[in-house]
Amino acid sequence: MRSRRFERLAERPVNRETFIRPWPEVGLSAIGSPHDPRPGIAIRDGAVVEMDGVAAADFDLVERFIARHAIDVTVAERAMSTPSQEIARMIVDINVPRADVLAIFAGCTPAKIVEIVDAMNVLEMMMGLAKMRGRRTPANQAHVTNRKEHPVLLAADAAEAALRGFAEVETTAAVGRYAPFNALALLVGTQVGRPGVLTQCAVEEATNLKLAFKGLTSYSETLSVYATERAFVDGDDTPWSKAFLGAAYASRGVKTRFTSGAGAPALMGHAEGRSMLYLEARSLLVTRAAGSQGSQNGSISCIALPESLPDGVRAVLAENLIAMLLGLEVASGNDALASHSDIRKAAKLMLQFIPGTDFITSGYGAIPRPDNMFGGGNFDVSELDDWHVLQRDLRIDGGITPVDEARVLAARERAARAMQAVFARLGFPPITEAEILAATGAYGSEDMPDRDRVADIDAAQSLLAGPMTALDVVRALDAAGYADVAANVLSMQRQRVIGDYLQPSAIFDRDYRVLSALTDPNDYRGPGTGYRVEGERWAQLQDLPQAWDPRHYGDRLAASGAAGWLVETGPAQRGSGREVVVAIGPAFGEAITRTIGGLDHRAVLDAIVSGIRSEGVAARIVRIHHTSDCAFIGHAGAKLSGSGVAIGIQSKGTTVIHREDLVPLENLELFAMAPNLDLDVYRHIGRNAALHAQRKPVPPIPVRSDNTARLRLIVQTTLMHLRETRSVRRDRPPAELRPAAEPAGHAGGAADLARPGVATAGSVEER
C-alpha cells in the first residue's frame, strides 16, 4: 500500500532534486571529511616549513603558494595557538573590531580556518557576514545576456539593470565571437541607465583581457582558482599564472576578482578526499595570496552539488564568510539555479540577503531565464517584485531599487538609440527603428527581430582586432549628441587612470565616488551601527509602484447617487409576531454601497428579505448606529425582533443570525467570509433566519471556503471596517428604515423592498 501523502510529497518541486549520503573519499562531503588535515603550522627562519601536517618539501603548488604568500608568519603562531572556538566567538562578538579578527586570519592555515567556522551555526555565520564584509553598503550584480546576442536588446537590458540599481552588470557570449559587441552594448547601456556601473564580459581569458585593455569592460571575475594542484593543471593554470593575470588587469586599471567555490574540485575529480569547505578555504587562501581584492564564491555554478549533501548550504555560507575573514570582497553566489523549490531557493538566499554582502548575488538575471547565457539564472526579471517586497518586508537593502515603468521605457529607448548612433558612427551593421522599438518594450529576445549574424560577428571581430577602443565610443556618442552618455563612458576611462576602484569591494555611486572597504568601511558593531536602511534609501525601497495610498480608498466605496434609498422613519421599536429583523451597519447603503465581494447592498438586502418572506415570515429593516461590530449589530437587531431572531449585516457583507437570549458574541450562524458570499447564500441566510424565528429545525448553510480570501482582502476589509466604524454614532438608537422610491435606472434588486408585505416601521405601527 502507498500513502497518498507520500505520493503527493514525492511530486513536490524539492523532490526533483538529488539528495545523497556523504562519500568523503571522493570529495562528496560538505564539511569535515575524515581525510581533512588537522590544523598545524611550523615556522623556521621566517618561513613556513610545515602546514596542516604537510612538510614544505612535500608541498604541492597550492600549498607552496599559500605558505609563501598568504600566511603572515609574524602572526601565524599566535593565531594557530588560539583556540578555534575562541576565534569563532570573536567573529560574532560586537565588542571585537573587524580589524582584530582580520589580523588573526592573516596567520591561519586552511584547516585552522575550517575548524573556526565549523564552530559556528548559520545564524552566527550571518552575524559574521554583517560584521566582516568589507564594504559598509551592500550591493548587487546583474546578468545581462540573450539567446540572440542581440546588441540592441543587450544595451536596453543593461540600461534597465543599471537603472534598477545593480552596481555591476556582467554579460557573456554563447558564441564567443560576439563578445566585443556584447561588451560594447553593456558599456553604453549601463552608462545610459546609471553612471558608474561596472561591466564585464565573461569569455575566454585572452579575449577577456583584450576587451578590458580596450576599455570596453571595467572589471573581470573570470579568474578561476582551484584548491588542488591537479585541478589547477586541468584548468590550464597555476597560482602564479592566475596571479600574473590579476596583475596584468590591474596594470591597465581594471578591477578583478577571482572565482572558486564548493563542489568544483569534486566535480573535476580532484578533491583528494577532502571536504568541500576545506578545499574552498585553500582556494580562498590562493586568492588572497595572489593579491586579488576579492572573490566570487558561494559554490556558483556547482551549487546543486553541495546542496545534495547534508550541511551543504551551511558550507556555502561558510565559504562566503571565510572570504570576508580573509579581507576579500565577496560576490556571494545565488546566481546559478539553486532549487526547483521556491521555498528552498528563498531560504538559501536569506543567508546572504539578510546580513548583506558586497554583492548579494554574483549575477541576478535582469533578463528572462531562457535568455540567461550563464546557464542558470537563480532569479530572473520575473521575480524582481518578489525581491522588492522582501526588501520592503525586512527593511533590507538587497541592492535592487524599485522603478516605475515610464522611467524603464525611457532608459531602454535611449540606450537603444545611443547604440544606433555608436554603430552608425563606427561603421557597424545598422540598427533599425524597428529594433529600437522592439528593444524598448521587449520582455526577451523572442520580441526582437533577427539580425544579420554573420555581419555582426565580422564587425565584432574587427572591433577586437583593430585599434578602436572605448575612446572611439566616447567620440561617437559625443558627435551624435549623447553628451551625457559620452561623459559617463569617459569617466569610466578616467577612473582607470586613478585606480581607486582597484581597492577591495569597490563600486561607484552615480557621481563616480568610490565606495570600497577603504572609503566606505564596514563599521558594524551591533545595534545602531553599520549600514542601516534609512532616509532616502528607505523611501526608495518602500515605495513600490504597486503600493497605493489607503487614505483615498474609502472614497471609492460609495457609489455616487446611492445614498438616500433607505429612509429613516424614526427610532426602531420592539416588534411582535413572526418577523425577522434585518439589522444593517451604520454605513450600509450610504457611506459604503457594496460588500467586499462586490455585491450591491440593495441586491443583498433584497435577497435576504426575499429569503425571509419565502418562509412566510415578515422582514423588518433597522439601521444600527451605535456599533459597527457584526455580533453587536445582530444582537441589537434581535432585541428588537418580534421573534427574537435577527440578521445582522455589516457593510462589508459579514453576516450573523442572532437571537436575543444569546450573549452578543454567541450566534445561531455566522458568515465571516464575506468575500465568498453570493446572493444565493444571502437568500439562504434569510430563509434560515425565518426558520429560526419559527423555532423550526435548521440545517446550517454550507459556505465555500477560500484560504486566500483573507490574504487578498484583509487590507480592504480593514479599510471598509474603518469607514463603517467612522459612521458609528454611539448615542444614536437603532432606526426604523423604509426603502425610498426606486430611482430611475436602478435595475431589479431592492424594488422588492418597497412592496407591501415587507415589514417596515409602518407595519409595526399597524399591529
Partner 1 sequence: MSAATVHAWTGRPLGDLTIEALRDGRSGGDDFRISREQLDVQAAAAEAAGHPQLAENLRRAGELTRVPNERVFEIYAMLRPGRATWAELDRLADDLASQDMPRVAAFVREAADAYRARGIVRPSP
How does DSSP assign 710-722, residue by residue?
HHHHHHHHHHHHH
Q: Does 484 bind partner 1 (CB under 8 A)?
A: no
Give CA angle at 221 (217, 223), nearest 5°.
120
For partner 1, the closer of residues 289 and 303 by Cβ is: 289
Is 124 a catalytic site residue?
no
Task: Mark the segment that binds partner 1 (CB under 8 A) among 305-313, 475-483, 655-663, 691-699.
Answer: 475-483
Q: Can you tell me which of 42, 75, 122, 240 binds partner 1, judged by CB under 8 A?
A: 240
Nearest by Cα to 725 from 555, 564, 586: 586
Q: Which CB, 61 or 384, lies closer to partner 1?
A: 61
What are the distances in angstroms from CA 561 to CA 176, 558, 589, 593, 753? 68, 9, 11, 10, 18
- Interaction with partner 1 in 276-295: which residues (CB under 8 A)? 288-293
The amino acid at residue 357 is: T
Catalytic residue among 143, 150, 658, 721: 143
CB of 64 to partner 1, least distance (A): 5
Structural contact between residues 654 and 714, judged by C-beta atoms closer than 8 angstroms = no
Name the residue nearer to partner 1 (CB basis): 68 or 453. Answer: 68
Binding span for partner 1 by CB under 8 A among 422-430, 437-445, 466-474, 669-677: 466-474
- Closest residue by Cα to residue 380 from 412, 423, 345, 354: 345
Footprint on residues 558-617 left by partner 1 (CB under 8 A): none
- 253: CB partners within 8 A, 6+ apart: 495, 496, 497, 498, 499, 502
Strand order in the sheet with 329-331: 219-224, 255-259, 294-296, 329-331
494 in contact with partner 1 (CB under 8 A): yes
Number of Cβ atoms within 10 Å of the Cβ of 37: 16
Q: Is 765 a catalytic residue?
A: no
d(CA 179, CA 185): 10
Least distance (Å) from partner 1 to the CB of residue 251? 4
Using CB under 8 A as the binding rule, whether residue 250 contacts partner 1 is answered as yes
Where residue 480 falls (left for φ over 0; alpha for ψ -120 to 50; beta otherwise) is alpha
Q: Does 269 bind partner 1 (CB under 8 A)?
A: no
Which range, of 57-65, 588-596, 597-605, 753-761, touches partner 1 by CB under 8 A? 57-65
Residue 70 as a binder of partner 1 (CB under 8 A): the answer is yes
| Catalytic residue list contains 542 | no
Among 20, 47, 55, 233, binds partner 1 (CB under 8 A): 233
Q: Which is nearer to partner 1, 479 or 672 (CB)?
A: 479
Write down the least CB distance from residue 470 to partner 1, Å: 8
Q: Which stretch binds partner 1 (CB under 8 A): 251-259, 267-275, 367-375, 413-421?
A: 251-259
Q: Which three cell numbers stand for residue 171?
A: 554579460
Residue 478 makes contact with partner 1 by CB under 8 A: yes
Which region, judged by CB under 8 A, interacts with partner 1, from 62-70, 116-124, 147-155, 614-622?
A: 62-70
CB atoms inside a 10 Å sphere around CB 755: 10
Which is nearest to 366 in space by CA: 443, 449, 259?
A: 443
When asked if residue 511 is in the footprint of partner 1 (CB under 8 A), the reply is no
Q: Does 637 bind partner 1 (CB under 8 A)?
A: no
Binding to partner 1 by CB under 8 A, coded x per residue (else -) over 80-119, reads -------------------x--xx--x-------------
Catalytic-role residue among 29, 141, 260, 283: 141
Sorted by sequence, the CB contacts under 8 Å of residue 297 that are 6+ apart come out as: 259, 260, 261, 262, 280, 283, 284, 319, 320, 323, 330, 331, 332, 333
Alpha-carbon dihedral angle through residues 533, 539, 544, 548, given to the nearest 10 degrees = 130
What are the beta bridge partners of residue 365? 143
429: number of CA atoms within 13 Å, CB side?
Answer: 18
Applying CB under 8 A, which of residues 486, 566, 584, 608 lies at the interface with partner 1? 486
Closer of 418 and 604 to partner 1 (Cβ)? 418
Residue closer to partner 1, measured from CB, 289 or 618? 289
Please enumerate in sequence order all residues whose Cβ is within 8 A of that of 282, keeping only pairs 6 or more positions apart, or say none: 62, 63, 66, 110, 227, 228
**Residue 698 exposed, middle or buried by CB count within 10 Å (0-12, 13-18, 19+):** middle
HEC readout, 375-418: CCCCCCHHHHHHHHHHHHHHCCCCCCCCCCHHHHHHHHHHHHHH
The verdict on 502 binding partner 1 (CB under 8 A) reads yes
| Contact between 499 and partner 1 per CB under 8 A | yes
Residue selected from 458, 500, 509, 678 as contacting partner 1 according to rule CB under 8 A: 500
144 SS3 class: coil
- Smallest separation, CB 62 to partner 1 (Å): 10
The single residue among 14, 35, 60, 447 that binds partner 1, judged by CB under 8 A, is 60
Ranges within 293-322 binding partner 1 (CB under 8 A):
293
391 catalytic per annotation: no
Shortest Cβ 488–partner 1 spacing (Å): 11
DSSP state, residue 311: T
CB nearer to partner 1: give 45 or 536.
Answer: 45
**Among the listed residues 138, 165, 180, 504, the single contact to partner 1 using CB under 8 A:** 504
191 is annotated as an active-site residue: no
Size of the site for partner 1 (CB under 8 A): 65
Buried-exposed string 66-103: b where 16+ CB fall within 10 A, e elsewhere = bbebbbebeebeebbebebeebbebbbbeebebeebee
Does 601 qualify as catalytic in the annotation?
A: no
Of 161 and 502, nearer to partner 1 (C-beta) is 502
Answer for which of 35, 475, 525, 746 binds partner 1 (CB under 8 A) is: 475
Query: Which of the stretches 66-74, 266-274, 414-422, 667-675 binds partner 1 when contact is defined by CB under 8 A?
Result: 66-74
The answer to the question of residue 206 lying near partner 1 (CB under 8 A) is: yes
Among 350, 384, 437, 518, contact with partner 1 (rule: CB under 8 A): 518
3-state secondary structure at position 145: coil
Min CB(204)–partner 1 separation in Å: 12
Compute φ and ψ for 490, nearest 5 degrees. Answer: -65, -40
Site for partner 1 contains 252 (CB under 8 A): yes
Is 296 marked active-site? yes
List 369, 496, 525, 746, residue binding partner 1 (CB under 8 A): 496
The cell numbers describing 329, all together, are 570582497
C-alpha cell at 570: 424614526
Region near partner 1 per CB under 8 A, out of 237-245, 428-436, 666-674, 726-734: 237-245
214/652 with CB nearer partner 1: 214
The DSSP string of 639-658 is HH-TTSEEEEE-TT--EEEE
Residue 483 makes contact with partner 1 by CB under 8 A:
yes
400: closest CA among 343, 445, 356, 439? 356
Asked if 541 and 401 touch (Cβ cutoff 8 Å), the reply is yes
In the numeric block, which cell numbers belong to residue 153?
A: 536588446
CA distance linking residue 574 with residue 588, whole number of Å: 21
* 20, 175, 247, 563: residue in contact with partner 1 (rule CB under 8 A): 247
- Give, as one character, the DSSP assignment of residue 28: B
46 is a contact residue toward partner 1 (CB under 8 A): no
434 scored as a contact of partner 1 (CB under 8 A):
no
Q: Least Å distance between CB 136 and partner 1?
A: 14
The set of catalytic residues is 141, 143, 170, 221, 296, 335, 362
Provide the binding-site residues for partner 1, judged by CB under 8 A: 60-61, 64-65, 68-70, 72, 99, 102-103, 106, 205-206, 209-210, 213, 215, 229, 232-233, 236-238, 240-241, 243-253, 288-293, 327, 469, 471, 474-475, 478, 483, 486-487, 490, 493-494, 496-500, 502-504, 517-518
